A and B are shown apart, each in its own frame.
Chain A
Amino acid sequence: MIRMRNITKTFHMGETEVHALRGLDLDIGDGEFVAIMGPSGSGKSTLMNILGCLDIPTSGEYLLGGEDVSSLTDDEQARIRNRRIGFVFQQFNLLPRTPALKQVALPLMYAGYDRTDRMDRAAEALKRVGLGDRMHHKPDELSGGQQQRVAIARAIATAPTIILADEPTGALDTVTGDEILDIFQELHAQGNTVIVITHDPDVAARTNRTIWIRDGLVVEHRSPDNGSMSS
């Protein structure tokens, strides 16, 4: 479960201060499938970095699964990312020249699993995204959709609390993008918490709830099932 209270993030650009987040509150329950939308400059990326423990807020409280993660050191953040968060990026962000199985095993290696264990788990994750037959292919031998599946397998390998996807279909054609969203839907159906950051309404429409961000604040929650809005 994610619970954010009064989160602010201020960047210093020379003399000027940029307030990317201005006291944002956010709750996402376990097993939710959520889209976060907003125009560029809205603080969407900053929110994603803080949600993913890639960055810490300037002030405010962030509880992830009941644990306060709002002020951690680099290495503590790394541990949280490793165990609790799975990332899927627009540009896939796979290691060059590395076969799929080793890509997926990477977070397991940093988590301290022994070799056979992590290969087993990595293979299992690749089967879940439908790449059981591409385990030893390197990124340049895979299509964009397949690369993104490898990235998803990597994200779910350590059985994280949340899967955080940043424009996961942004670099893919519509058909492939839909397939990727199908996988997310499936993961959601299996009980995972999935958060997709996007600017594409079609992507957001596939989720159960859309959170709008503007000027560093949550401005709107919309659930497609009942069409209700709140602010």
Chain B
Amino acid sequence: MNMRESLLSAIDSLRANKLRAVLTMLGVIIGVTAVIALLSIGNGVRSSINSEISAIGTNLIMISTNTRNSDGYATLSLSDVGALSDPLRAPDVEQIAASVQTSAAVTAGSNSARPSIMGVTANYFMINNLDEFEAGDGLTQTDIDTRARVAVLGLGLAGDLFPDSYPVGQVVKIAGTSYEVVGVLTASGGGFSNTDDSLYVPISTAQNRLSNSRTRSGERAVSSIIATSASAERNTAALEQIAEVLRQEHHIVYADDDDFSLISQTDLLDTFNQITGMLTAFLGAIAGISLVVGGIGIMNIMLVSVTERTREIGIRKAVGALRRDILTQFLIESIVLSLTGGLIGIFLGWLISWGAGNLIGLSAPLDVMTVLMAVGFAVGVGIVFGLYPAWRAAGLRPIEALRYE
């Protein structure tokens, strides 16, 4: 008995009992739908957040004060930045930027706001992917060197302070002192800090005029240092070099802990991926349980079907069907059931993840692996749960099967 005949006869016998076939498939349909929808949405969420993080740069390393080991002082200063810029001491560090964060009242004419004020180095914008400007430009090295009283505004802040006029070239007052607006950032895509409502001034200006924070030894402090490694592969090496340089600079002895902390973007990404991956797998496993339940449904109906068709099996055997022929016939029937259910489930799952993706505004694409896995799982369910009924059918003795009423 060839495959084509088995397939046709399987479809025939399922068509003869349409309602039953659909009800039987329902278990597999629901299981596969749930697996597909959950995995797709899970992957969609993950890839959307991943791309957001990656947009900032995967080779970013953030250095900040470790408040547990600093006795309340800030520990980082511009001399640390200088030391880390030395290619002999930290060869895998490519770029390095620093910022001083503070807050003050800002006014422009009758409009006022209290934004987060960042004193930054000139390359800060580029490292943070903030180097696109709605108007004007960023800060220059000359601005830094001369402690220029110039400011770059986030787009939202610019709208608050200059609702009706072009901001570049105008003057804002920060803590009573006048600054010239030289640039406005484009809308940011989110990220860790809200750049839309921030104001940026040269780090030297901020240290002199806006922030009093000092390190234990009296140097003017910086809030954080951002470094990039030459590539994502050099991240680990760069992290080690930074730690080594900072420990030397801060005269930390062997027994003492770091007074700074390092976070790399890849660490963050890894941790995040681990959590979402586990979550997705967990949800998928729960959905997988319903697939198993669906499989039991198939086994149940196939056993009923074998009993109902005992006479048919007897006839087939009487005219020469081998055990293998009967086994194949019933196995194919249960695979057709589960595979059809699986395909419907993939379609429904795709529909749900597409709908849900639209609803929460992310793309939840059906990836090939998930589909293959679902199809494989469905066929597997058909085989595993169809094998016993098929084996029972194949083992029927023709005399008894023919006598069966």
Could you list which residues of chain A lie within 8 angstroms of chain B, going by C-beta atoms?
49, 52, 54-55, 74-75, 78-79, 81-83, 87, 89, 93-97, 106-107, 109-111, 154, 158
**With A and B bound together, what is the CA distance between A96 and B402 in angstroms?**
14
22 contacts between A and B (CB under 8 A): A52-B318, A74-B323, A75-B323, A75-B324, A78-B317, A78-B320, A78-B323, A79-B320, A79-B322, A81-B318, A83-B320, A87-B318, A89-B402, A93-B311, A95-B312, A95-B315, A97-B12, A107-B319, A109-B1, A109-B5, A110-B319, A158-B320
B399 touches A93 (CB 8 A): no
Q: Mark B119-136, 1 if CB is under 8 A from A, else 0.
A: 000000000000000000
Q: Is the interface of B mostly helix, strand, loop or mixed?
A: helix
B320 touches A54 (CB 8 A): no
B319 touches A81 (CB 8 A): yes
Q: Please give, as numbers and ranges, the residues of chain A lying within 8 Å of B1 by CB-CB distance.
A: 109-110
Q: Decide yes or no whether B160 CB sits under 8 A from chain A.
A: no
Q: Please give, as numbers and ranges, the residues of chain B lying within 8 Å of A75 by CB-CB distance.
A: 322-324
**With A and B bound together, what is the CA distance between A78 and B1 in angstroms?**
13
**With A and B bound together, what is the CA distance between A83 and B320 in angstroms?**
8
Of the candidates B12, B324, B325, B398, the one whose C-beta lies within 8 Å of that of A54 is B398
B90 → chain A, closest Cβ, in Å? 77
Q: Decide yes or no whether B147 CB sits under 8 A from chain A.
A: no
Count chain A CB atoms within 10 A of each CB in B16, B316, B397 and give the residue with the most: B316
Q: Decide yes or no whether B292 CB sits under 8 A from chain A.
A: no
Q: Please give, as numbers and ranges, the residues of chain B lying within 8 Å of A107 by CB-CB distance.
A: 319-320
A161 → chain B, closest Cβ, in Å? 13
Classify chain B's interface size.
20 to 34
Q: Decide yes or no whether B321 CB sits under 8 A from chain A.
A: yes
Q: Please give, as numbers and ranges, the residues of chain A lying within 8 Å of B314 by CB-CB distance.
A: 93
Q: Please give, as numbers and ranges, the residues of chain B lying within 8 Å of A89 by CB-CB distance.
A: 402
Count chain A CB atoms within 10 A of each CB in B16, B311, B314, B318 and give the residue with the most: B318
B320 → chain A, closest Cβ, in Å? 2
A123 → chain B, closest Cβ, in Å? 17
A82 touches B312 (CB 8 A): no
Count chain B CB atoms within 10 A of each CB in A54, A78, A89 and give the residue with the most: A78
A93 touches B315 (CB 8 A): yes
Nearest opposing residue in chain A for B321, CB measure: A110
Q: Please give, as numbers and ranges, the residues of chain A lying within 8 Å of B325 by CB-CB distance.
A: 110
A55 touches B399 (CB 8 A): yes
**With A and B bound together, what is the CA distance between A95 and B12 in angstroms?**
12
Nearest opposing residue in chain B for A98, CB measure: B12
Q: Please give, as numbers and ranges, the residues of chain B lying within 8 Å of A87 by CB-CB distance.
A: 318-319
A108 → chain B, closest Cβ, in Å? 9
B8 → chain A, closest Cβ, in Å? 10
Q: Please give, as numbers and ranges, the residues of chain A lying within 8 Å of B16 by CB-CB distance.
A: 97
Of the candidates B12, B321, B402, the one whose C-beta lies within 8 Å of that of A93 is B402
B311 touches A81 (CB 8 A): no
Q: Please give, as numbers and ranges, the residues of chain A lying within 8 Å of B318 by CB-CB distance.
A: 52, 54, 81, 87, 93
**With A and B bound together, what is the CA distance between A149 and B316 in angstroms?**
18
A103 → chain B, closest Cβ, in Å? 9
Q: Please give, as numbers and ranges, the residues of chain B lying within 8 Å of A83 by CB-CB distance.
A: 320
B399 touches A54 (CB 8 A): yes
Nearest opposing residue in chain A for B12, CB measure: A97
Q: Please give, as numbers and ranges, the residues of chain B lying within 8 Å of A81 by CB-CB distance.
A: 317-320
Q: Please give, as numbers and ranges, the residues of chain B lying within 8 Å of A94 by CB-CB distance.
A: 315
**With A and B bound together, what is the CA distance between A158 and B321 in angstroms?**
13
A154 touches B398 (CB 8 A): no
**With A and B bound together, what is the CA distance between A107 and B319 in angstroms?**
5
Q: From known contacts A93-B311, A97-B12, infer whether A111 and B320 are also in contact, taking CB-CB under 8 Å.
A: yes
Of the candidates A55, A96, A110, the one whose C-beta lies within 8 Å of that of B322 is A110
A110 touches B320 (CB 8 A): yes
Q: Please give, as numbers and ranges, the residues of chain B lying within 8 Å of A111 by CB-CB distance.
A: 320
Q: Please give, as numbers and ranges, the residues of chain A lying within 8 Å of B311 by CB-CB distance.
A: 93
**With A and B bound together, what is the CA distance between A54 and B401 in angstroms?**
11
Q: Please give, as numbers and ranges, the residues of chain B lying within 8 Å of A78 by CB-CB distance.
A: 317, 320-323
Q: Please give, as numbers and ranges, the residues of chain B lying within 8 Å of A52 by CB-CB distance.
A: 318
The A-contacting residues of B in range 289-348, CB under 8 angstroms, are 311-312, 314-325
Nearest opposing residue in chain B for A83, CB measure: B320
The A-contacting residues of B in range 1-55, CB under 8 angstroms, are 1, 5, 12, 16
**With A and B bound together, what is the CA distance between A96 and B317 in angstroms?**
15
A72 → chain B, closest Cβ, in Å? 12
Q: Please give, as numbers and ranges, the residues of chain A lying within 8 Å of B5 by CB-CB distance.
A: 109
A96 touches B312 (CB 8 A): yes
Q: Please give, as numbers and ranges, the residues of chain B lying within 8 Å of A49 by CB-CB distance.
A: 399
**With A and B bound together, what is the CA distance between A55 and B398 in angstroms?**
9
Nearest opposing residue in chain B for A118, CB measure: B5
Q: Please give, as numbers and ranges, the residues of chain A lying within 8 Å of B12 by CB-CB distance.
A: 97
**With A and B bound together, what is the CA distance between A110 and B322 in angstroms?**
8
Nearest opposing residue in chain A for B315, CB measure: A93
B12 → chain A, closest Cβ, in Å? 7
A82 touches B320 (CB 8 A): yes
A153 → chain B, closest Cβ, in Å? 12
A106 touches B402 (CB 8 A): no
**With A and B bound together, what is the CA distance between A213 and B304 in angstroms?**
39
B399 touches A154 (CB 8 A): no
A128 → chain B, closest Cβ, in Å? 17
**With A and B bound together, what is the CA distance between A154 and B318 in angstroms?**
11
Q: Please give, as numbers and ranges, the residues of chain B lying within 8 Å of A97 by CB-CB distance.
A: 12, 16
